[in-house]
Structure 1
Amino acid sequence: MREKEFRHVPVMLAEVLEALQIGADGTYLDGTFGRGGHAREVLARLGPPGRLLLMDRDPTAIATARETFGKDERVRIRHDSFAELADWPETAQGLDGVFFDLGVSSPQLDDATRGFSFQAEGPLDMRMDPTSGVSAADWLADAPEAAIADVLWQYGEERLSRRIARAIVARRAEEPLRTTAQLADLVARTIGYRERNKHPATRTFQSLRIHINDEMGALEKGLQGALERLRPGGRLVVISFHSLEDRVVKRFMRGRDGQPASRRHLPPVEAPESAFVALGKVFPGERELADNPRSRSAVLRVAEKRR
């Protein structure tokens, strides 16, 4: 299993390294260590004065980080969400680059005991940090029907969210949903196969995972933390895997998060200058798509903090 973990393919590796514009004496933060594919190559480009700060919510990822990089004096490691990066004293001196690879990692998807995937039966957990918070099974056991429907619609854009929520509540009255297979089968029987080459439960699993881990809240806080800690000229590099994440990242980099909307018949609201210069977005190339199908929905955005 460990050999498989270390052979996972980091998404858009060359593009990330180019976007970060790594200097040998710089300080960089990888907020989503995963299994270290990106971090390893960043570290290879640092000289003795350089520093690499590693964070991850997943204790298994942190164990790998400590085993692989724990003896390198240039590396510091913290078990925490990147949402808390500004509270880590190691970032107080400033950062030259911040990198987030959002969503669930391949090792998490491939481990049935984590409950992220319906491809194999496992406990319905979905927590990125299994040592804290509420599992998906426990949340579904108590959440009101309307709350379940709202989560499925808001984070999965599931058009049949109310029907699925109603089926979940009816099922739990008979017996609790405890495994990924139980939930996937229930959703499939409730709404049927509507989209070619997509399991009916895809949106349900995505939305529950995002909710259980408060991924959108963590993203917004993490982006703000990156703004606070990046030095002028520092780079923010983010890989997103669905439109909800990408929309938040795009607006933040362009300085439009929280901007009041213009009102009809009134002069347009003048937006304050963004703290970042958005440098564009990049998609995986054909070779990467062939080698790593999981990269097909990835989009990388880059921004530079104004001097």
Structure 2
Amino acid sequence: MTRNYHTPLFLNEIRDLLREYSVKVLVDGTFAEGGHGLTYAKEGYTVLGIEYDKELYAISKKKVHDAGVNCTLVHGNFANLDTIVRNAGIGRIDAVLFDFGISMYHLRASTRGFSMESDQVLDLRADSAAQYTGRDVITRYTKEQLYDCISENIESIDTGRLVDTIIRYRGKQDIARASNIWAIAREYSTSKHVQEAVVRGLLQLLRVEVNNEEENMKSGLQKASDLMDGSGLIITITFHSREDRLVKLFFRTSKWTPVFKKPLKHTSYAFAKSARLRAYVSH
């Protein structure tokens, strides 16, 4: 039996939304291990799942086949949502779900450098066809590029001093593994708390840069909005403030109406304390 690493959040809350808005056809733009999409397919919904990571796609393709449910899984990027939906031939869609950010599979099972808990190569590509790796970003970006990335992705940090630490470190040693990121953090601060924040932040920004995550988010949200113009439901789960801010800004200038006055927070799991659920409708 294939092990499940990912714990799907807000399952009941999303289920309630699907019922309230009479959803029949759901697109799960971030299928991963099927925690959301496969669960709802087993409950009778027609689901189109999209998974960008080839490893996860292969694992979940077998799960979908074995489940024998009305679920189509496609290897692709939700940034191309319109093309994927059109090629799938499922007709009118009622809702799109985005669980943005990293999957627990990447943190616990992948060997591509997503986790700060083990000394892995700084690959950080969700798709092996991506143009460059995390190592490329941190060793080739100019001082100005690093400053922009860090200031946008890591809060409560002396950005200039951290950039100088990175530049100084890479002048004497290659930055190829997670252990090098930890070494940079130790040079930056003697505080373990600060060191952890630096490592977590650097790995996150490298992942965001390598996988073009923010531009993909904007594209996915826009195409979901266009596909369901006039009637539909868009559901988002975010884990860090920059993701959540991007979602808020997108819908602030759209015709979509928020379902909740404030995003729902998750309280059941310690790892999910920063998770936020938002939903928007168009009538």
TM-score normalized with structure 1 length? 0.82
Equivalent position to 1:276, from 234, 245, 256: 256
C-alpha deviation, 1:193, in angstroms: 2.1
Q: Residue 76 of structure 2 is aligned with which of 76, 80, 100?
A: 80
Contact 1:113-1:123 within 8 A present in 2 as well: yes
| Deviation at residue 283 of structure 1 after TM alignment | 0.9
Asked whether the 8 Å contact 1:188–1:200 carries over to 2, the reply is no
Say which of 118, 121, 129 aligns to 2:119.
121
- Greater mean deviation of Cα atoms: 218-227 or 73-82: 73-82
Over 3 Å counting, the alpha-carbon distance change for 1:192 and 1:201 in structure 2 is farther
CA distance in 2, matches of 1:110, 1:7: 7
Shift of residue 91, structure 1, vs aligned partner: 6.6
Question: CA-atom RMSD, angstroms?
Answer: 2.4
Structure 2: 5+ residue stretches without partners = none
**Structure 1 pair 297–225 and aligned structure 2 pair: CA distance change class (3 A):** same
**Bigger radius of gyration:** 1
Is 1:298 aligned with 2:275?
Answer: yes
Give the match for residue 260 of structure 1: none
Structure 2 match to 1:268: none
Q: Which of 62, 66, 76 is matched with 1:67 structurally? A: 62
Distance 1:7 1:155, change over 3 A: closer
2:238 touches 2:244 (CA, 8 Å); kept in 1?
A: yes
Structure-1 separation of matches of 2:119 and 2:110: 6
**Residues 168 and 64 (structure 1 numbering): CA distance in 2 closer, same or farther, change over 3 Å?**
same
Alignment of 1:1-12 (within 5 A): 3-4=2-3, 6=4, 8-12=6-10
Aligned partners of 1:92, 1:226: CA distance in 2, in Å?
A: 15
Instruction: Check 1:196–1:156 CA distance in 2 against 1; reply closer, same or farther (3 A cut).
Output: closer
Aligned equivalent of 2:183:
185
Q: What is the aligned-residue identity percentage?
A: 24
**1:55 corresponds to which of 46, 50, 55:** 50
In 2, Cα distance between the equivalents of 1:197 and 1:176?
19
* Residue identity opposite 1:15 in structure 2: E
Residues 244-282 of structure 1: per-residue CA shift (max 9 Å, x gap): 11112123233x2xxxxxxxxxxxxxxxxx421111121
Aligned twin of 2:139: 141
Gaps of 5+ in 1: 257-273
Shift of 1:137: 0.5
The residue number in structure 2 matching 1:167 is 165
The AA in structure 1 aligned to 2:47 is L
SS in structure 1 at match of 2:9? coil
Classify the secondary structure of the residue corresponding to 2:130: coil
Give the alignment partner of residue 243 of structure 2, picking from 242, 245, 248.
245
Distance 1:163 1:109 in 2: 28
CA contact 1:29–1:52 (8 Å) conserved in 2? yes
SS of alignment partner, residue 74 of structure 2 = strand
* Amino acid paired to 2:275: A
Secondary structure of the structure 2 residue equivalent to 1:128: coil
Which residue is 1:208 aligned to? Answer: 206
Q: Would you say how many aligned residue pairs link Structure 1 and Structure 2?
A: 278
Distance 1:302 1:63, change over 3 A: same
